[in-house]
Structure 1
Amino acid sequence: MSHPQVLRDLALFVEVAKRKSFSRAADALDMPISSLSRRITQFEATIGVRLLDRTTRKLALTAYGEAYLVQATRVVEEAQRSFEDLVAQAKGPSGHLTVAVPTDFWVTQHLSGIASDFARQHAQVHVHLDLRSGPVDLIQESYDLAICTEVPREASLIVRKVGALENGLFAAPDYLRARGRPEHPRDLGGHEVLLTGASAAWPLSRGTQTHTAEVSGRLSCSSLSLVRHLALAGRGIAALSLSDAGLDLEAGRLERILDGWSLPPTEVFVVTTSRLVPAKVRGFIDFLVQRLGTAFAEGRRTADPAASRSAAG
């Protein structure tokens, strides 16, 4: 068997092993299942060991397959990265880039512009943003990377923190005129609070001071975007990121309350299945980190008048 054939069959084996399914692997590879199965069988015959146990209901790695998969994955990823780097040197990053992203408002506010600018700079890359409200399986669903605000449970995934969203409390001017402005977190118990659940405990801090406010409200929903819209309508106090509230603060549609008190930040992560990612993925992550850092810093200055004066001076 020639070296190119070995590498191709290694790649087929890795694809089947990762997806634990010949049919899903065949779909991803755009080849007939019968052809894929035949190639894997021939590959096993060539190396002299069985890598996969197949039944009508289940596909599982043998002990040889488990041990071999780690090495095979490394070889395939390094070969793919080398190829992508050569292409990138010749004409820049290229191909389809599929990104799983959360449905929070900051995504539509910032990430749409970031993806658009990245695609404009790299004409050979097609960027697809897939908004997801729940956990994502990067391997089974063929994503190049995911952006999330919680660390995934799978230990095998590569997780990189790319920023943190500062959070605060906000309300519309109409609401504050009607209900008054809370002066301390303990005052929140007497206010309408917009939540993503029936009740919550908000751990607020200001310098060395801390206070956990037990809050509840008559309106709640699972969408932070809808929480923001309810706050804009004057229906209550909302916990939002400064990035989410920035434009509304500038326009006077929202005001920050309990000045100096903050909720814990929301960390933002990029998740990939490997450290060896192609040029299009590395380029997008670097672009994302730079632009999100700028966007989050601008959100903090907008929500903090003292910071704005300092930046201007």
Structure 2
Amino acid sequence: MAHPQVLRDMALFVEVAKRKSFSQAAAALDVPISSLSRRITQFEATIGLRLLDRTTRKLVLTPYGEAYYEQALRLVEEAQRSFDELIAQARGPSGLLRIAAPPDGWAFDHLPAVVAGFMSEHEHVRVHLDLRPAVADLAAEGYDLALVTDEPREASMIARRVGRLATGVFGAPDGLACTGMPTLPEDLARHAAVVAGQTSVQASWRLSRAGETRTVTVSGAVSCNSPPLARRFALDGRGLALLPLLDAEADLRAGALVRVLPDWSGPPLPVSIVTTSRLMPAKARAFIEFAARQLGASLMPGTPEAPDASPVYALRA
């Protein structure tokens, strides 16, 4: 039977290895850095192997540390989940839930209601919502989960699809009054475009209507890395932009933007919740189930493809 101190040191090692930083791990564990470093050093001395290589600039796992981390992580996560489930059985999900999400219009419009509804059902959970343009490093930065509108690039990410965002082409009325309103997708090639999501000022837009699909190459003088910024450029008359309909709703009502080729839609943007492990605390699992129901009904209602309602989380390779 393992000594309790060994189990505690294993958990400390996992936290340091996960974040690759003594300072970040110490902050997350709320312990002094010196105490944490001393415990890891004593742990290495006990087993007779060096698990971490420390330099003034970085901390890396040794081959022994890599192998041990994979095993220890599963044990620590399983122990944490068992503890969380025990607490959840007694009083329901609890603790601080940290969520990262993109600073997009749909997030501003829909996430506050989702979080408020979730907290009304789970009074022992506190929520911190962090809007940020880039996908967070969940483990290193201490997030429980993140909402994303693109496919996770890391093979270690576990993703669940919870909704879709319909998209369309939008432009400022004054600019279109000068250049003329496009009537066919091919007309877009003769208009300036604001390219979002890549560094090139040229892109291929795929538009669909009633089973018909056309692809047109667009270009312009400006590109950016986020739909909200593309929307701002479109509002300023810098070109047409392919945007989520939810992000453009208020501007449409105000007359600041108009829908171009309203019968044609761009590819829907998938909205997913990502985590780093299938072994999640009760607070995270409860939020994912709640958000899947709420967002699936509100982001793109009435579409043939329903969001994934399965509780099984698929590993994206």
Q: TM-score, normalised by structure 1?
A: 0.82
SS in 2 for 1:12: helix
Aligned to 2:88: 88
**Are residues 1:141 and 2:141 paired?**
yes
The residue type paired with residue 147 of structure 2 is I
Deviation at 1:223, TM superposition (A): 4.4
SS in 2 for 1:50: coil
SS in 1 for 2:156: coil
Aligned to 1:273: 276
Aligned to 1:200: 203
CA deviations on 1:196-227 (whole Å, 9 max, x unpaired) are: 36443212233453322233446665542344
Q: More deviation in 178-187 or 61-70?
A: 178-187
Q: 1:228 to 1:34 in 2, by over 3 A?
A: closer
**Are residues 1:225 and 2:228 paired?**
yes
Aligned to 1:70: 70
In structure 1, how many angstroms separate the alpha carbons of the residues matched to 2:211 and 2:220?
A: 28
In structure 1, how many angstroms separate the alpha carbons of the residues matched to 2:130 and 2:302?
A: 25
In structure 1, how many angstroms separate the alpha carbons of the residues matched to 2:141 and 2:301?
A: 34
CA deviations on 1:73-118 (whole Å, 9 max, x unpaired) are: 0110011111111111222211111111112211111112212222
In structure 1, how many angstroms separate the alpha carbons of the residues matched to 2:194 and 2:129?
A: 28
In structure 2, how many angstroms separate the alpha carbons of the residues matched to 1:15 and 1:201?
A: 43
In structure 2, how many angstroms separate the alpha carbons of the residues matched to 1:17 and 1:175?
A: 54
Aligned to 2:97: 97
CA deviations on 1:14-73 (whole Å, 9 max, x unpaired) are: 011112222222222111222112222332333343323334444332332222111110
Aligned to 1:296: 299
Aligned to 1:311: none
Q: 1:206 to 1:39 in 2, by over 3 A?
A: same
Give the counterpart of 2:286 among 268, 283, 286.
283
In structure 2, how many angstroms separate the alpha carbons of the residues matched to 1:217 and 1:182?
A: 16
In structure 2, how many angstroms separate the alpha carbons of the residues matched to 1:214 and 1:114?
A: 37
In structure 1, how many angstroms separate the alpha carbons of the residues matched to 2:25 and 2:266?
A: 44
Deviation at 1:153, TM superposition (A): 2.6
The residue type paired with residue 283 of structure 1 is A
**Are residues 1:212 and 2:209 paired?**
no
Q: TM-score, normalised by structure 2?
A: 0.82
Aligned to 1:239: 242
Q: More deviation in 215-224 or 158-167?
A: 215-224
Q: 1:54 to 1:218 in 2, by over 3 A?
A: closer
The answer as to whether partners of 1:242 and 1:300 remain within 8 angstroms in 2 is no
Q: More deviation in 263-272 or 149-158?
A: 149-158
In structure 1, how many angstroms separate the alpha carbons of the residues matched to 2:150 and 2:229?
A: 20
SS in 1 for 2:141: coil
The answer as to whether partners of 2:93 and 2:282 remain within 8 angstroms in 1 is yes
SS in 2 for 1:261: coil
The answer as to whether partners of 2:9 and 2:40 remain within 8 angstroms in 1 is yes
In structure 2, how many angstroms separate the alpha carbons of the residues matched to 1:90 and 1:254?
A: 52
SS in 2 for 1:182: coil
In structure 1, how many angstroms separate the alpha carbons of the residues matched to 2:146 and 2:77?
A: 18
Q: 1:162 to 1:126 in 2, by over 3 A?
A: same
Aligned to 1:187: 187
In structure 2, how many angstroms separate the alpha carbons of the residues matched to 1:227 and 1:266?
A: 15
Q: More deviation in 80-89 or 210-219?
A: 210-219
The residue type paired with residue 200 of structure 1 is A
Report the number of matched residues: 301
In structure 2, how many angstroms separate the alpha carbons of the residues matched to 1:51 and 1:192?
A: 56
SS in 2 for 1:297: coil
SS in 2 for 1:202: strand
Q: 1:231 to 1:9 in 2, by over 3 A?
A: same
The answer as to whether partners of 2:133 and 2:226 remain within 8 angstroms in 1 is no
The answer as to whether partners of 1:246 and 1:299 remain within 8 angstroms in 2 is no
Q: Unpaired segments of 5 or more residues in structure 1?
A: 302-313
Aligned to 1:18: 18
The answer as to whether partners of 1:201 and 1:215 remain within 8 angstroms in 2 is yes
SS in 1 for 2:206: strand
Q: Which structure would you say has the larger Rg?
A: 1
* Identity, % of aligned positions: 59
SS in 2 for 1:78: helix
Q: Unpaired segments of 5 or more residues in structure 2?
A: 305-317
Q: 1:34 to 1:259 in 2, by over 3 A?
A: closer
In structure 2, how many angstroms separate the alpha carbons of the residues matched to 1:139 and 1:248?
A: 37
The residue type paired with residue 21 of structure 1 is S
